[in-house]
Structure 1
């Protein structure tokens, strides 16, 4: 809301405009004419509501391309997904890079987002809502850095840009019968059987398993220490059940020309390629609509069905928040019901 205060001094009359909007810094300006004060107040208030006004002159001096170039030089090299993020930012640079940051409005970004959704990509399809949200996230980080670190913006316009609604996360896990069929079909291929068993008992990702080195495996402590994880943090994986026996046996006959637990036969410095054996095992086991990553879902589902809480599942999978593991909450219903039953019994006494 804009208010105008008339001031009269020995030097003459002036009009001071003050604009207050919730969540934004107060903006003020002084004019010699009332008409100029009213015009500035109306235009600036409208720009602030639309996310187009920034107090710093830096927002009018730098374009989005300037911001993207600086971010790529200073911040991008430290990220694990630098190559993917660079491609996303290049797209934004082509579409909006010529605009100065002051003119980068939520409406303009939203319009570009819709164009991104309509574009045909290689292979003839269009981008999924999840992919579009990753593009938005890449731009959001750049603009947040402009505001928080470089003082090129006062407030990021991304705060008023809506994300696409993504479908609920896929939960496909092996039934007991499917698990037995799959393991049976994998037994003829020692590397595949060992990798699948390790995936089922640890919840590790495919590349975490295939790039596993003996230096990360401590059989005496029964733990694997993952150093290079997706979220950038160390994650210990307990080695339990048959997976421990399998790794102990593999350690006895490990190759001396590589440190990989699953080395390739021809190129021992590279992980073995299990794609064809995996697809063959799925066909032999008559298992449909199942991907390697679903082994990870299977681990989480088994944990939920055996009483593990969401925080425990998140710790096993290496998720920093509970958002990604809430998809398994329904599987722990019986466990939660049992906890509630125990609570009611202790507080109110058993049923009569």
Structure 2
């Protein structure tokens, strides 16, 4: 016998939970949640058919293996091929945490309740460091273990059903991202402070970052020519002054990107190319370890103090570039392409800054419609 219960989700949209009671087995039932009623009914039809044909119940494979075994196999065979070193360094400890918490459980015994209890523990007591975790970090924990379960189900056939499928375990809502960018006066003061810094590489790095919106890692790992051994697991690119651009061969999202150079940023790179060190191909090398990028933290902190700019990080130069692009009339698609975002979701935060441009566009369209 099947029943469907409707309840509102956190987003206000309805969710449907289907429950099927197993005939002849007292107090035994199975359930699943869906965002669409049609999917819910389809699941009931398929599951009831499977029960009649004795295909639904847990396979021997799910009874043979524990979650800990699945994590070990995943870390050994799947993760190294799928993720870059930086991501592996993040996911490894996370999966070890899951292993320490419920790794002893057989896959056949895992339920949404087990994962909900882990979610609550992360929120109250934290992960490996014993501190409560932010919503984004909790989500990362579930993304990591969710991929393990997906592989168990779809590739290894160790699972019949994924206990985390369809978001049945509700995660904390992510806070809205804070966008901090320089206003005109702050930009003017900080530009002067960086230009007057005793560190001669601070100003070129600063003006390049604020002019192109490149990430800090992309800026600091620029080369005059492609290195014989490119840095592994790190964003890097090559300056091409002949074509007034930078080619980023490795980026955060894995896509190759062309960054145009113009104005002051281009002029500063042209100056650096004439006086650059011969013992390294890096554009911003360390004075003591020329094969490594320079550390600008101290010079940057001093420049911020001199300019009286507070609550501002180097990464916020990227926000500043995006904000100035929006205010100059660039579309969200343009901003996403320039900054290297793979989706428009990341640039929606700048949409309000281009309202005047949108209004002008709508006005021009209506003038054409009206024949003006």
TM-score (norm 1): 0.84
Are the structure 2 counterparts of residues 120 and 164 from structure 1 closer, same or farther at C-alpha, using a change threshold of 3 Å? closer
Paired with 2:224 and 2:61, the residues of 1 have a C-alpha distance of: 52
Deviation at 1:305, TM superposition (A): 1.1
Shift of 1:84: 0.8
* Match in the other structure for 1:253: 275
Give the C-alpha shift of residue 151 in structure 1.
Answer: 2.0
Q: Who is 1:274 aligned against?
A: 296
Q: Distance in 2 between matches of 1:348 and 1:110?
A: 58
State the aligned residue count. 319
- In structure 2, the partner of 1:342 is 364
2:220 to 210, 223, 226: 210
Aligned to 1:196: 206
Q: Contact conserved, 1:195 with 1:209, CA < 8 A, in 2? A: yes
> Which residue, out of 108, 113, 116, partners 1:110?
116
Equivalent residue number for residue 72 of structure 2: 69
1:72-125 deviation per Cα after TM superposition (whole angstroms, max 9, x unaligned): 112222412101110111111111111112222112101101101111578885
Pairing of 1:290-309 with structure 2 (within 5 A): 290-309=312-331
Q: Partner residue of 2:139?
A: 133
In the alignment, is the contact (CA less than 8 A) between 2:280 and 2:290 conserved in 1? yes
Q: Secondary structure at the match of 1:47?
A: strand
**Alignment RMSD:** 2.5
- Structure 1 position 56, deviation (Å): 3.7
Q: Distance in 2 between matches of 1:49 and 1:257?
A: 62
The structure whose Rg is larger is 1
For the 8 Å contact 2:97–2:128, the answer to whether it is kept is no
Q: Is the 8 A contact 1:314 1:325 kept in 2?
A: yes
Contact kept? 1:311, 1:322, Cα under 8 Å: yes
| Cα gap change, 1:227 to 1:173, in 2 (>3 Å) | same
Tell me the CA shift for residue 153 of structure 1: 2.1
TM-superposition CA deviations, 1:306-329 (whole Å, max 9, x none): 111222211122221111111111
* Runs of at least 5 residues in structure 2 that lack an aligned partner in the other structure: 4-15, 35-55, 226-237
Give the TM-score normalised by structure 2: 0.80
Structure-2 residue corresponding to 1:59: 62
Match of 1:39 in 2: 24
Structure-2 residue corresponding to 1:161: 169
Shift of 1:41: 8.9
CA pair 162-54 structure 1, distance change in 2 beyond 3 A: farther
Query: What is the match of residue 97 of structure 1?
Result: 103
Separation in structure 2 between the aligned mates of residue 238 and residue 106 of structure 1, nearest angstrom:
49
CA contact (8 A) 1:2 1:42 kept: no
**Who is 2:37 aligned against?**
none
Query: Equivalent residues in 2 for 1:166-177 (5 A)?
Result: 166-177=174-185
